[in-house]
Amino acid sequence: MQQINYDALSKTIASLTEGEDDVVALMATVTCEVHHADDRFDWTGFYRVTGPNMLKIGPYQGGHGCLVIPFSRGVCGACATTRQVQLVPDVDAFPGHIACASSTRSEIVLPVFGQDGALIAVFDIDSDRPAAFTPADAEGLSAMLASVFRR
């Protein structure tokens, strides 16, 4: 299984986003760079916190995603509720999984915090392979997201 060089990816994203403070522009750039960094990634994107206990789709790469996800549903909702990384090796075994794409076999969802420490989004990556994500992915992606959105 390929392992991304998250340090190099973070440096690339930092250079592309230097001086940018628009959150949607940052999300679009992160999504594009991460999605194309690894062929395990079948769908990559953000769900933005748009209201109390509500996520709406943000910039993404891949097939269509769900437009709205309440905090009470699915892997993205679990991430938003707990503010913890959700590493799901088999989406069919996750209670309440939302099948936005029938090809999804595994998923990682990470909380995204803004400068003030508030949850602003979740970053969702789906794979058409089972058990595609590792704790090293969770660590590398979490550090990258913090460097982009908490600066």
Per-residue three-class SS string for 33-65: HHHCCCCCCCEEEEEEEEECCEEEEEEEECCCC
In this model, does residue 2 exceed pLDDT 70? no
Nearest to 80 by CA among 101, 40, 51, 44: 51
- Global pTM reads 0.95
Nearest to 127 by CA among 137, 115, 116, 142: 137
Nearest to 58 by CA among 82, 37, 28, 83: 28
pLDDT grade, residue 123 (50/70/90)?
Answer: very high
In this model, does residue 99 exceed pLDDT 90? no
In this model, does residue 61 exceed pLDDT 90? yes
Question: Which residues in the chain belong to E strands, given as ranges?
Answer: 43-51, 54-61, 68-70, 86-88, 106-113, 119-127
pLDDT grade, residue 72 (50/70/90)?
Answer: very high
Instruction: Yes or no: say if 93 and 107 are a contact pair by the CB < 8 Å rule.
Output: no
Q: How large is the average pLDDT for residues 23-47?
A: 96
| 6-149 under CATH 3.30.450.40, yes or no | yes
Listed by start position, the domains of the chain span 6-149
pLDDT grade, residue 92 (50/70/90)?
Answer: confident
Six-digit token string for 114: 């803004």
Six-digit token string for 20: 């940018």
